[in-house]
């Protein structure tokens, strides 16, 4: 008997928002923290029970739908608030609520001294609620509402410390760049409606093969527009520029929203709409290519960053690229698997970075760190676990998920894509351990002030690190290669398309060979970082001097931000200025004032008729009467 | 019998003199005098028609007109006296407070 309490998933965070939002400032910090963490924690429990129930369903079972409310009826068209409970949405729900709960607990420690405590937890709960609406919705409209709402929460949380101009600007930038993507997404949804007459997932997907000719312009346009939304939300080329700036927000926010959950919404969306994407092979190629390019270029940008959070931000962009490569070649389960493992290890890395920053009173420049591995043992060891997972070191979670993607890429897109992916993996291992060695190893380069206060974080912050480290370590084993993937089998009912033959996953020698190659590459990357940052610390400086032009190009992030500023931001501002002064003040105000002036000018003319002379009035009456009489008589 | 047209012509002439007086004269009392003249010209017309159509309605209407004229004179002269008290003149050109 499938549970019918799915709506609780949404209810708990919503209650948390209402209570903390309206009464938070009166409740005291402990109560606020408990309410917020309980809200997400209870949702997590519900999600787990739904997962358990879903696992026990046979693979051919219809996905469960829970209709909550009839939202609107316009003529023939109705939209209901319906939750779709199938393997894909349940997986996302578990990941979102699980990682959120851990991060909420961590935030209790991290934000303990902040003056807007209840507001922070309100926004965080609101985010969880919105994200759940996004992943559980059964129609495009609910997904879009959730999509926009998480964008709003992202803006609110990035600019949480809004007194800092950098943070306020970063929030604006995130929202505006996202908006560009959302515009495409909205157009895509409208196109879906125009083609199918409905926004309901089951209706649309069942009619996709009938109404969308394979490879047609309609299919390609529709899917590319939907993908544009993903490009914005999931920070792919060219709309990734907001994510590094988003690091201005509190670190738990970066961990939750910009690593584990919100940015993965794009991947989820493509996986959910795989039926539509399979009608447009050209669009899927675009998805894969953009994902691949993003993965590679973001990895190159991470090589030279000095801000601990920015390295992780570019790493996130790069790993999201991997996920899009996966869904772009049709390996949706692989993409979702990487999404899951990435959520664990990237959240872990961000929280670890936050722990380091907390220990060093806010320092985030890795050039000013070093020698921390003995002083911050829990932070160090959990960070290393996360780093090994990210680098794809054998047997950690990232190894299995990344390898799955690379294998599918070789199978379905050819060796060249695999090579680029492999190169990116090498860079990933390198920059990750560059971060580890510069921050934790070697001699201490700390400021005197920071060095005096170095202390390990309190348990409320280190416990989440340990929990995430456990998952980052072992989560890989749900997706073993060679056809043994539990997660693949779990997701299969949600990710197959009727009529499209998905080859059953089968082990092959090539797969094992490529697996070993990935492992070797990962170890090589780690070794290179060791060589450059531990054995020969002077070497990086010499290399960056020797290849100065390349180094500058990377440090300045290929000058993309500057290019956008010149080509898009400045002309738009000038256009805005022009419209404000010349059009609005000049033309429109001119017209309105002009009407006033004309009226004022005509006034004396009509005023003359009312001079107050009684005899004049009498005379006009006489003339009028005579005229009427004359007309009547002479007619 | 005097022909009807004679009466009507006399009425018309009296009426026109009255109208001219209203438009031209400045003294408020003379203005009222001319208005009375117009009213009486109308009375004459009504009587003439009553006589020549052998109907009593003409005379009844005259009754009513005379009553109204009397009432109007009473009120009007009252207003003029009030104005005179205020400004020592009954020149209608000076009464232009309604000037817009």
Assigned token pair, A59: 């693979």
Per-residue pLDDT, A368: 83
Is the overall model pTM greater than 0.90, yes or no?
Answer: no
Confidence of residue A360 (pLDDT cuts 50, 70, 90): confident
Q: How far is CA A290 from the centre of its chain?
A: 16
Q: Are A272 and A136 in contact (CB under 8 A)?
A: no
Please compute the mean of the pLDDT values over residues A94-111 and round it to a whole number.
92
Whether A506 shows a pLDDT value over 60: the answer reads: no
Q: Is there a contact between B23 and A611 if contact means CB atoms under 8 Å apart?
A: no
CB contact under 8 A, A607 and B100: yes
Tell me the CB-side half-sphere exposure of residue A248, using CA atoms within 13 A: 24
Residue A373: predicted pLDDT? 84
For residues A302 and A310, give the distance between their C-alpha atoms in angstroms, rounded to a whole number.
7
Mean pLDDT (whole number) for A101-115: 90
Set of chain B residues whose Cβ sits within 8 Å of the Cβ of A625: none
Look at residue A507 in the predicted model and tell me its pLDDT. Answer: 60
CA separation (Å) from A493 to A39, A51, A54, A404, A484?
30, 14, 11, 19, 16
The ipTM assigned to this model is 0.80
The answer to whether residues A356 and A369 touch, using CB atoms and an 8 Å cutoff, is yes
> pLDDT at position A498, please?
59
Contact at 8 Å (CB) between A347 and A261? no
How many residues would you count in chain A?
Answer: 635
Residues B100, A610: C-beta atoms closer than 8 Å: yes
Query: Closest by alpha carbon to A378, among A400, A351, A398?
Result: A351
Cα–Cα distance, A485 to B61 (Å, whole number): 114
User: Which pLDDT does position A566 carry in this prediction?
Assistant: 86
Burial of A147 (0-12, 13-18, 19+ CB in 10 A): buried
Cβ distance A259 to A346 under 8 Å? yes
pLDDT tens-digit profile of A474-489? Answer: 887 877 776 557 777 7
Chain A CB contacts of B92 under 8 Å are 613-615
Looking at residue A269, its pLDDT comes to 93
Higher pLDDT residue, A447 or A87? A87
Segment A169-202, tens digit of pLDDT: 999 999 999 999 999 999 999 999 998 888 888 8
Mean pLDDT over each residue of chain A, to the nearest integer: 87
In the three-class reduction of DSSP (H, G, I as helix; E, B as strand; rest coil), residue A159 is classed as coil
Q: In which band, very low, low, confident or very high, does the pLDDT at A259 lie, cut at 50, 70 and 90?
A: confident
Question: Are A615 and B26 a contacting pair at CB < 8 A?
Answer: yes
Distances in Å between the alpha carbon of A389 and those of A10, A209, A282, A352, B82?
Answer: 31, 39, 33, 14, 106
pLDDT at A59: 67
Cα A402 to chain centroid, rounded: 20
Cis-peptide, bond into residue A238, ω within 30° of zero: yes
pLDDT tens figures, A46-71: 999 988 888 887 766 677 787 878 88
Instruction: Pick the closest to residue A152 from A183, A131, A121 (CA basis).
Output: A131
Q: Given the structure tokens 């009312």, which residue do they identify?
A: A610
- Candidate from A9-23, A360-374, A501-515, B49-63 with smallest mean pLDDT: A501-515
| Disruptive mutation site among A609, A611, A615 for chain B (greatest number of B CBs within 10 Å) | A615
Q: Report whether A272 contacts A201 (CB < 8 A).
A: yes
Region of A570 please: left (phi>0), alpha (psi -120 to 50) or beta: alpha
Is the confidence at residue A503, as pLDDT, over 60? no
Q: Which of B23, B97, B100 sits opposite A618 (nearest CB)?
A: B23
Residues 6+ apart with CB under 8 A from B34: B17, B18, B19, B20, B21, B22, B25
- Mark out chain B residues that contact chain A at CB-CB < 8 A: 19, 22-24, 26, 92-93, 95-100
Q: Provide the 3-class DSSP secondary structure of residue A213.
A: coil
Higher-confidence residue of A629 and A590: namely A629
CA distance A320 to A235: 8
Strand (E) or helix (H) holding A80: strand A77-85
- Contacts of residue A611 in chain B, CB cutoff 8 Å? 96, 99-100
Q: Which of A504-508, A544-548, A582-586 has the lowest mean pLDDT?
A: A504-508
How many C-beta atoms surround the C-beta of residue A610 within 10 A?
A: 13
Task: State the pLDDT at residue A501.
Answer: 54
Q: How much of chain A, in percent, has pLDDT values that exceed 70?
A: 97
**How many CA atoms lie less than 13 Å away from A382 in the CB half-sphere?**
30
- For residues A554-576, one letter each, b for 16 or more C-beta atoms within 10 angstroms of the residue's C-beta and e for the rest, the string is beebeeeeeebeeeeeeeeeeee
Tens-digit pLDDT profile for residues A376-425: 888 899 999 999 999 988 888 888 889 889 988 888 888 899 999 999 99
- Give the per-residue pLDDT at A500: 56
Crossing angle of helices A459-474 and A332-359, rounded to 10°: 150
pLDDT at A25 over 60: yes
**Residue B95: what pLDDT?**
76
Residue with the bigger pLDDT between A13 and A484: it is A13
Distance of CA A312 to the CA centre of its chain: 14
Burial class for A588, CB neighbours closer than 10 Å (0-12, 13-18, 19+): exposed
Contact criterion met (CB < 8 Å) for B19 and A622: yes
Q: Tell me which chain A residues have a C-beta less than 8 angstroms from the C-beta of B99.
A: 610-612
Nearest to residue A399, comparing CAs of A353, A461, A341, A465?
A341
- Residues β-bridged to residue A307: A365
In order of A351, A354, A453, the CA distances from A465 in angstroms are 7, 11, 21
For chain B, what's the residue count? 100
Three-state SS string across A478-540, please?
HHCCCCCCHHHHHHHHHHCCCCCCCCCCCCCHHHHHHHHHHHHHHHHHHHHHHHHHHHCCCHH
Task: Check CB contact under 8 Å for A612 and B19.
Answer: no
Residue A338 CA to its chain's centroid (Å)? 15
Q: Residue A612: which of B22, B24, B96 has the nearest Cβ?
A: B96
pLDDT digits (tens, 9 = 90+) for A138-165: 999 999 999 999 999 999 999 999 999 9
When CB atoms are compared, the residue of A611, A618, A622 closest to B99 is A611
E strands in A168-304: none
Taking an 8 Å cut-off on Cβ atoms, the answer to whether A613 and B100 are in contact is no
Q: Is residue A499 pLDDT above 80, yes or no?
A: no
Q: Tell me, letter by letter, the H, E, C secondary structure of chain B.
A: CCCHHHHHHHHHHHHHHHHHHHHHCCEHHHHHHHHHHHHHHHHHHHHHHHHHCCCCHHHHHHHHHHHHHHHHHHHHHHHHHHHHHHHCCCEHHHCCCCCC
Measured between beta carbons, the chain B residues lying within 8 angstroms of A619 are 23
Q: A296 vs A108, A300, A330, A413, CA distance in Å? A: 36, 6, 20, 16
Which region among A55-59, A60-64, A78-82, A235-239 has the lowest average model confidence (pLDDT)?
A60-64
Percent of residues in chain A assigned helix, strand, coil, to nearest 5: 75, 5, 20
Nearest in space to A14 (alpha carbons), one of A148, A127, A142, A149: A127
H or E segment to which residue A72 belongs: strand A64-74
Which pLDDT score, from 0 to 100, does residue A1 have?
53
For residue A165, give both structure tokens. 């101009």
Is the CA virtual torsion A452, A453, A459, A462 positive or negative? negative
Structure tokens given for A513: 């060979």
Q: Is A612 close to B22, i.e. CB distance below 8 A?
A: no
Q: How confident is the model at residue A441 (pLDDT cuts 50, 70, 90)?
A: confident
Q: What is the mean pLDDT of each run of 10 residues along chain B (100 residues)?
A: 90 94 90 94 95 92 96 94 86 74
Residue A228 has pLDDT above 90, yes or no: yes
């Amino acid at each position: 008997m499938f549970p019918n309490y799915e709506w609780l998933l949404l209810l708990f965070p919503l209650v948390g928002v209402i209570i903390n939002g309206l009464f938070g400032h009166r409740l005291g910090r402990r109560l606020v923290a408990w309410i917020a963490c309980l809200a997400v924690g209870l949702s997590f429990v519900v999600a787990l029970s739904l997962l358990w129930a879903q696992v026990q369903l046979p693979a051919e079972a219809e996905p469960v739908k829970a209709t909550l409310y009839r939202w609107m009826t316009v003529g023939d068209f109705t939209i209901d608030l319906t939750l779709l409970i199938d393997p894909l949405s349940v997986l996302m729900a578990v990941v979102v609520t699980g990682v959120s709960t851990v991060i909420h607990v961590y935030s209790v420690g991290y934000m303990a001294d902040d003056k807007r405590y209840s507001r922070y937890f309100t926004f965080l709960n609101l985010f969880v609620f919105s994200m759940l609406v996004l992943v559980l919705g059964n129609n495009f409209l609910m997904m879009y509402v959730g999509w926009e709402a998480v964008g709003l929460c992202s803006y609110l949380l990035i600019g949480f410390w809004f007194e800092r101009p950098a943070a306020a600007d970063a929030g604006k930038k995130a929202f505006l760049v996202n908006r560009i993507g959302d515009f495409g997404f909205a157009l895509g949804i409208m196109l879906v409606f125009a083609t199918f007459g409905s926004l309901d997932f089951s209706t649309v997907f069942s009619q996709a093969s009938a109404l969308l000719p394979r490879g047609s312009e309609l299919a390609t346009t529709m899917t590319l527009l939907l993908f544009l939304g993903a490009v914005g939300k999931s920070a792919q080329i060219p709309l990734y520029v907001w994510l590094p700036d988003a690091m201005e927000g509190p670190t738990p926010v970066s961990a939750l929203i910009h690593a584990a959950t919100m940015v993965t919404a794009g991947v989820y969306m493509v996986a959910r709409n795989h039926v539509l994407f399979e009608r447009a092979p050209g669009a899927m190629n675009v998805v894969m290519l953009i994902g691949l390019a993003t993965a590679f270029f973001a990895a190159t940008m991470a090589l030279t960053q000095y801000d601990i959070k920015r390295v992780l931000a570019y790493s996130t962009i790069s790993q999201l690229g991997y996920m899009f490569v996966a869904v772009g070649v049709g390996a949706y389960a692989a993409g979702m698997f990487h999404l899951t493992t990435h959520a664990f290890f990237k959240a872990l890395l961000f929280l670890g970075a936050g722990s380091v920053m907390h220990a060093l009173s806010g320092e985030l420049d890795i050039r000013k760190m070093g020698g921390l591995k003995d002083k911050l043992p829990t932070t160090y060891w959990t960070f290393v676990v996360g780093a090994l997972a990210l680098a794809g070191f054998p047997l950690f979670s990232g190894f299995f998920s990344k390898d799955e993607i690379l294998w599918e890429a070789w199978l379905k897109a050819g060796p060249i894509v695999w090579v680029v992916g492999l190169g990116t993996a090498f860079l990933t291992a390198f920059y990750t351990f560059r971060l580890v060695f510069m921050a934790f190893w070697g001699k201490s380069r700390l400021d005197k002030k920071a060095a005096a206060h170095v202390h390990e974080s309190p348990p409320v912050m280190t416990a989440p690190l340990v929990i995430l480290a456990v998952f980052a370590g072992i989560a890989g084993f749900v997706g073993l290669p060679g056809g043994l993937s539990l997660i693949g089998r779990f997701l299969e009912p949600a990710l197959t398309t009727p009529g499209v033959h998905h080859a059953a996953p089968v082990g092959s020698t090539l797969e094992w060979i490529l697996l070993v190659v990935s492992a070797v590459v990962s170890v090589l990357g780690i070794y290179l970082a060791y060589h450059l940052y531990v054995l020969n610390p002077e070497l990086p400086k010499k290399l960056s001097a020797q290849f100065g032009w390349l180094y500058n190009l990377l440090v300045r992030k290929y000058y993309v931000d500057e290019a956008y500023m010149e080509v898009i931001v400045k002309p738009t501002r000038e256009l805005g200025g022009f419209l404000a002064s010349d059009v609005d003040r000049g033309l429109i105000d001119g017209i309105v004032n002009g009407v006033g002036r004309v009226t004022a000018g005509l006034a004396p003319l009509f005023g003359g008729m009312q001079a107050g002379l009684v005899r004049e009035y009498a005379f006009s009456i006489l003339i009028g009467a005579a005229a009427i009489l004359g007309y009547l008589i002479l007619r | 019998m005097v022909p009807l047209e004679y009466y009507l012509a006399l009425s018309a002439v009296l009426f026109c003199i009255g109208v001219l007086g209203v438009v031209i004269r400045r003294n408020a009392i003379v203005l009222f005098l001319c208005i009375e003249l117009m009213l009486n010209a109308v009375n004459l017309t009504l009587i003439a028609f009553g006589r020549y159509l052998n109907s009593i309605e003409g005379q009844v209407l005259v009754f009513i007109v005379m009553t109204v004229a009397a009432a109007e004179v009473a009120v009007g002269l009252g207003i003029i006296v009030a104005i005179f008290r205020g400004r020592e003149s009954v020149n209608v050109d000076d009464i232009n407070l309604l000037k817009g």
